[in-house]
């Protein structure tokens, strides 16, 4: 590995961590799309900042652009407050307009601005090591490393200082204001940090891929855990993993680093989405199928309970009466037999005492809808675990 | 070129006519289908789909090696649809929320698309240039063939809209009721989503991936302000969309260095702003005026009620009282007294006022809601 390669990977990791932390809170607060809006609408701020500073890494430019990001949030909320359109429409209206203004500003001043919309949107990490910070002739490393490092440091400090406040206001805004922690201050604090992070990162990975780095690790972690701290650790882990793996994929394909980082993130997400133990697609589908069978079983038991006449309880009759397919009836019958709920004599099904007890309890649960009635049944059945 | 020159050229110049027609048709179809997206609270679906279409374009090019617009758009359609259904799968099957699902699909698909695009650029194939026009769109590259395609799709879309109007409408406003009526909600849902995706994909070439969502939303959001009727809203949105297309093209053609997409979006944004402010029913301006009027009426009625409270203790309700006794009362001004007199509720003589019979009755029945005023 050459030194620029190492530097690129370090920058990528720092960007990934800096994005993952606010991303967790955005995802939990159902504001993931605000990051998308901010990442687009900072464009006019960047352009204006660039006119003033002529340096893409200047702190003033970052500040100015971050303010544009916060303005976006304020605008969205103002429009939403008029009640004329819904929140998502408000977001969808504000950021394209601001972005268009940015694009037009660039186009109209093409001669003065060495700024490309492509560069803002897509970024190019491969060039990051070439823009170095020189102080009195000494080479202190790539500028974006310093910029993102500072942003990450600020984010971390704020996270440690306000972890409890953030947690409370994220999960229970009412409780948080009752405790004297203003959810509004937390909201705008988070928005400001997100804005600054997006602005700092756009240079390295581009505006849209910042969104991926914010949302994807957090969403992936959210599928794996319900613990806030674990979620933060996991999303930082996913971010760093995809940063390094993404770099090498890009190296191998000779393609955009940020693109391949996102692709790796996407693959990680896909894997977790499919295979996560409790909340993954496969386990959800499995659970739903189980539940369907169990509901059928319950229907079946209730039917048996309701009918004492033999012809109603004949195996062949059940199929036409409850209108089940053959396979389904077989599954349900087998399940009931296996659990000793029923016994079959001369093709006539009847409830065992255990089955009777179970059915009565289930009935009581259905009528009263009280959880304690079925506590002990939960071990046998998925159905009552929800 | 000035704006008037543009409109003169519009008649004579073939290219300009094609582009204008294209953006107008695009605006119209986006407005129509956008109305459904906005009302179904799927405004940002457009944003996600347009980004999700990018890898489809790149893959279509990688597989066929040809830069035929139709094939590329087909790829975009397929990948947009995959994105859409994945979003739905995520929302229904996992506990991830809509916004997270949208953001994920948007950014992950786009990132994958970028990977493919940069990969294609490194290939020794000179044919690849120009794929990035789908990022920001270039109306100038519209040719007659593209416009024809748009017109055909718009036509099909219109026919389907008319055929399934009732179904779309009822699904929009009461999905559960639709189901109980025995309609196949899944089919209707997929149908309308398919057309929304189709409209987005069509617009990619003109306004690009990034700004497409505004094309879909803005005309519909503007139209929403003027009417509470679905048919009217769809119609108005189509008109607003078409006008945004035409004006946007006109403005960008009359200036140097202005790409069409952003200008169209800004024009559409201006429509929204104007509608927000000036629409008579919901607009901010008229709402504020109504508030003020109500506040004034309320103050007048308060004063009248206070006077009524004094007068009813006298056997003669028109017994004159000094204006001075109103001094402690909030909401009383010289002007409000004059207003009351204009309405013939009181008479003023010198420093004294007296309630008229009409004013007395009015005050007596003020809180009687059965009474018309």
**What would the pLDDT profile of B288-299 be if each residue is shown by its tens digit?**
999 998 888 888
Q: For B29-35, what is the mean pLDDT?
A: 92
pLDDT at B331: 61
pLDDT band at A319 (very low <50, low <70, confident <90, very high): low
Chain A residues within 8 A of B269 when measuring between CB atoms: 93, 96-97, 100
In contact, B136 and B210? CB cutoff 8 Å: yes
DSSP summary character for residue B353: E
Q: How confident is the model at residue B244 (pLDDT cuts 50, 70, 90)?
A: very high
pLDDT reading at B369 higher than 70:
no
Question: Do the chains contact at B103 and A215, CB–CB below 8 Å?
Answer: yes
Q: Residue A26 — pLDDT band, cuts 50, 70, 90?
A: very high
pLDDT band at A386 (very low <50, low <70, confident <90, very high): very low
Mean pLDDT of B233-248: 93
| Percentage of residues in chain A having pLDDT higher than 70 | 89
Is the domain defined by A283-385 classed in CATH 1.10.10.10? yes
pLDDT attached to residue B128: 57
- Paired tokens of A249: 């994929």
Contact B107 A259 (CB under 8 A): no
Highest mean pLDDT among A141-155, B299-313, B351-365: A141-155
Instruction: Give residue A385's pLDDT.
Output: 47
Q: Are B200 and B80 in contact (CB under 8 A)?
A: yes
- Answer yes or no: do A30 and B99 touch at CB < 8 A: yes
Contact A208 B111 (CB under 8 A): yes
Q: Please state which of the ranges A68-72, A302-306, B290-294 shows the lowest mean pLDDT.
A: A302-306
The percent of residues above 90 in pLDDT, for chain B, comes to: 25
Provide CB contacts within 8 A for A136, sequence distance 6+.
Answer: none
Calpha distance B133→B141 (Å, rounded)? 9
Overall average pLDDT of the A220-236 stretch: 93
Q: What is the pLDDT of residue A19?
A: 93
Q: Whole-angstrom distance between the N-terminal and C-terminal Cα of chain A?
A: 51
Confidence of residue A379 (pLDDT cuts 50, 70, 90): low
Closest partner CB to A211 (pick from B107, B122, B257): B107
At A360, give phi and psi (nearest 5°): -60, -45
- How confident is the model at residue A158, as a pLDDT? 93
Contact A36 B107 (CB under 8 A): yes
Residue B254 has pLDDT above 70, yes or no: yes
| pLDDT averaged over every residue in chain A | 83
User: Which DSSP symbol is given to B96?
Assistant: -
- In chain B, which residues have their Cβ closer than 8 Å to the Cβ of A256? 114-115, 117-118
The whole-angstrom separation of Cα B218 and Cα B276 is 11
ipTM above 0.90, yes or no: no
**Residue in B106, B111, B213 closest to A258 by CB:** B111
Contact A97 B114 (CB under 8 A): no
Interface A:B, Cβ pairs < 8 A: 201
**Per-chain mean pLDDT for chain B:** 84
Residue-wise pLDDT tens digits, A211-225? 899 999 999 999 999
Two tokens, residue B277: 């402010």
Cross-chain Cβ contact A88/B43 below 8 Å: yes
Identify whether the C-beta of residue A243 lies closer than 8 Å to the C-beta of residue A261: yes
Choose the closest CB to B114 out of A117, A223, A259.
Answer: A259
Q: Which of A28, A78, A92 to mutate to test the interface with B (most CBs of B within 10 A)?
A: A92
- Topology of the domain comprising A3-279: ABC transporter involved in vitamin B12 uptake, BtuC (1.10.3470)
**In whole angstroms, what is the distance from residue A325 CA to residue B315 CA?**
87
Q: Which of A32-45 are b and which e, b meaning 16 or more Cβ less than 10 Å from the residue's Cβ?
A: bbbbbbbbbbbbbb
Of the candidates B263, B233, B355, the one whose C-alpha atom is nearest the C-alpha of residue B19 is B263
The answer to whether B221 contacts A85, with C-beta atoms less than 8 Å apart, is yes
Top-confidence residue, B57 or A368: B57
Question: Hey, are the CB atoms on A100 and B99 less than 8 Å from each other?
Answer: no
pLDDT of B46 reads 85
**Is residue B194's pLDDT more than 50?**
yes
pLDDT at A114: 63
pLDDT reading at A88 higher than 90: no
| pLDDT over threshold 50, residue A255 | yes
Residues facing residue A350 across a β-bridge: A343
Task: Say yes or no for a CB contact (<8 Å) between A107 and B257.
Answer: yes
Question: Each residue of A263-298: pLDDT tens digit?
Answer: 999 999 999 999 988 888 888 888 888 888 777 777
What residues of chain A, 19 to 58, have a C-beta less than 8 Å from chain B? 27, 30-33, 35-36, 40
Domain B3-282 belongs in CATH node 1.10.10.60: no
Pairing of strands B321-322, A348-351: unpaired
pLDDT of residue A384: 52
pLDDT in tens, B43-67: 888 889 988 998 998 899 888 877 7
Question: Per residue in A158-172, is it b (16+ CB within 10 Å) or e — as a string?
Answer: bbeebeebbbbbbee
From chain B, pick out residues whose CB is under 8 angstroms from the CB of A280: 94
Q: Could you identify the residue written with the tokens 């391949």?
A: A260
Where exactly are the structural domains of chain B?
Answer: 3-282, 292-364
**pTM of the prediction?**
0.84
Q: Name the residue among A254, A263, A281 with its Cβ closest to that of B122.
A: A254
Q: Please state the domain extents for chain A.
A: 3-279, 283-385
CA B104 to the chain's CA centroid: 25
Task: Test A284 with B93 for CB contact under 8 angstroms.
Answer: yes
CA atoms of A131 and A268, how far apart (whole Å) = 31
Using pLDDT thresholds of 50, 70 and 90, give the confidence band for residue A304: confident
pLDDT recorded at residue B370:
64
Q: Counting Cβ atoms within 10 Å, is residue B24 exposed (0-12), middle (13-18) or buried (19+)? A: buried
More confidently predicted of A78 and B360: A78
Cβ <8 Å between B214 and A100 = yes
| Same fold flag, A3-279 and A283-385 | no
* Confidence check: pLDDT of B154 > 50: yes
Q: What is the CATH number of domain B292-364?
A: 1.10.10
Nearest CB to A104 within list B213, B262, B276? B262
pLDDT value, residue A335: 77
CB B204 within 8 A of CB B47: no
Average confidence (pLDDT) over B348-363: 80
Which residue in this structure is represented by tokens 């991926």?
Answer: A212
Q: How far is B275 from B59, CA to CA, in rounded Å?
A: 41
Query: Å from A310 to nearest chain B CA?
Result: 36
pLDDT category of residue A89 using cuts at 50, 70 and 90: confident
Which of A52, A198, A69, A196 has the alpha carbon at shortest distance from A113?
A: A52
């Amino acid at each position: 590995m050459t030194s620029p390669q190492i530097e690129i990977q370090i920058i990528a990791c720092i960007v990934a961590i800096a994005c993952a932390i606010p991303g967790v809170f955005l995802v939990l607060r159902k504001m993931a799309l605000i990051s998308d809006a901010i990442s687009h609408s900072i464009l006019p701020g960047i352009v204006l900042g660039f006119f003033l500073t002529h340096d893409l890494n200047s702190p003033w430019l970052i500040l100015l652009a971050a303010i544009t990001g916060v303005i976006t949030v304020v605008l969205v909320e103002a429009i939403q407050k008029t009640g004329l359109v819904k929140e998502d429409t408000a977001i969808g209206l504000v950021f394209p307009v601001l972005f268009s203004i940015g694009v037009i500003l660039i186009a109209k001043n093409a001669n003065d601005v060495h700024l490309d919309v492509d560069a803002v949107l897509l970024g190019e990490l491969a060039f990051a090591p070439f823009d170095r910070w020189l102080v009195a002739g000494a080479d202190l490393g790539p500028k974006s490393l310093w910029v993102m490092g500072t942003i990450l440091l600020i984010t971390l400090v704020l996270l440690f200082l306000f972890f409890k406040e953030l947690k409370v206001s994220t999960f229970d805004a009412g409780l948080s204001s009752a405790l004297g922690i203003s959810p509004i201050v937390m909201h705008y604090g988070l928005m400001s940090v997100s804005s600054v992070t997006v602005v700092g990162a756009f240079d390295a990975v581009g505006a849209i891929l910042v969104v991926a780095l914010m949302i994807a690790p957090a969403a992936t972690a959210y599928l794996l855990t319900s613990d806030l701290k674990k979620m933060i650790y996991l999303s930082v882990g996913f971010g760093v993993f995809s940063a390094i793996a993404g770099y090498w994929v890009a190296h191998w394909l000779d393609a955009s680093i940020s693109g391949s980082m996102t692709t790796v993130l996407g693959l990680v997400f896909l894997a977790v989405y499919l295979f996560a133990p409790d909340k993954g697609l496969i386990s959800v589908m499995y659970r739903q199928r189980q539940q369907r069978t169990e509901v059928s079983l319950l229907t079946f038991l209730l039917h048996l309970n309701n009918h004492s006449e033999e012809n109603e309880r004949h195996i062949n009759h059940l199929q036409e009466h409850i209108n089940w397919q053959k396979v389904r009836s077989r599954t349900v019958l087998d399940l009931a037999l296996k659990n000793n709920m029923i016994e079959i004599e001369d093709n006539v099904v009847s409830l065992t005492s255990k089955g009777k007890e179970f059915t009565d309890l289930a009935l009581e649960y259905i009528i009263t809808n009280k959880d304690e009635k079925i506590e002990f049944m939960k071990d046998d059945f998925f159905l009552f675990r929800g | 070129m000035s704006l008037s020159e543009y409109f003169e050229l519009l008649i004579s110049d073939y290219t300009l006519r094609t582009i204008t027609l294209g953006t107008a048709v695009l605006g119209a179809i986006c407005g129509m289908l956008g109305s459904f997206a906005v009302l179904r609270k799927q405004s940002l679906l457009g944003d996600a789909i347009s980004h999700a279409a990018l890898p489809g374009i790149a893959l279509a090019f990688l597989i066929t090696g040809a830069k035929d617009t139709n094939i590329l758009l087909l790829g975009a359609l397929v990948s947009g649809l995959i994105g859409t259904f994945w979003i739905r799968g995520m929302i229904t099957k996992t506990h991830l929320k809509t916004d997270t699902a949208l953001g994920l699909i948007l950014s992950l698909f786009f990132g994958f698309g970028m990977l493919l695009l940069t990969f294609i650029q490194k290939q020794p194939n000179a044919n690849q240039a120009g794929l990035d026009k789908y990022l920001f769109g270039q109306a100038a590259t519209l040719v007659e063939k593209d416009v024809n395609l748009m017109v055909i799709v718009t036509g099909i879309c219109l026919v389907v809209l008319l055929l399934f109007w009732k179904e779309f409408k009822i699904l929009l406003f009461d999905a559960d009721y639709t189901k109980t009526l025995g309609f196949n909600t899944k089919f209707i849902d997929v149908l309308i989503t398919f057309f929304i995706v189709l409209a987005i994909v069509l617009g990619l070439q003109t306004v690009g991936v990034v700004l497409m969502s505004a094309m879909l939303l803005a005309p519909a959001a503007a139209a929403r302000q003027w009417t509470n009727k679905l048919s009217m809203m769809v119609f108005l949105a189509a008109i607003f969309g078409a006008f945004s297309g035409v004006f946007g093209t006109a403005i960008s053609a009359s200036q140097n260095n202005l790409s069409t997409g952003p200008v169209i979006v800004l024009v559409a944004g201006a429509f929204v702003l104007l509608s927000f402010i000036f629409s008579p029913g919901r607009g901010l301006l008229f709402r504020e005026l109504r508030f003020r009027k109500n506040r004034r009426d309320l103050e007048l009625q308060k004063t009248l009620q206070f006077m009524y409270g004094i007068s009813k203790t006298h056997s003669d309700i028109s017994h004159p009282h000094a204006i001075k006794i109103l001094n402690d009362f909030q909401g009383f001004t010289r002007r409000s007294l004059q207003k009351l007199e204009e309405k013939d509720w009181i008479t003023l003589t010198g420093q004294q006022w007296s309630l008229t019979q009409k004013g007395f009755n009015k005050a007596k029945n003020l809180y009687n809601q059965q009474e018309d005023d």
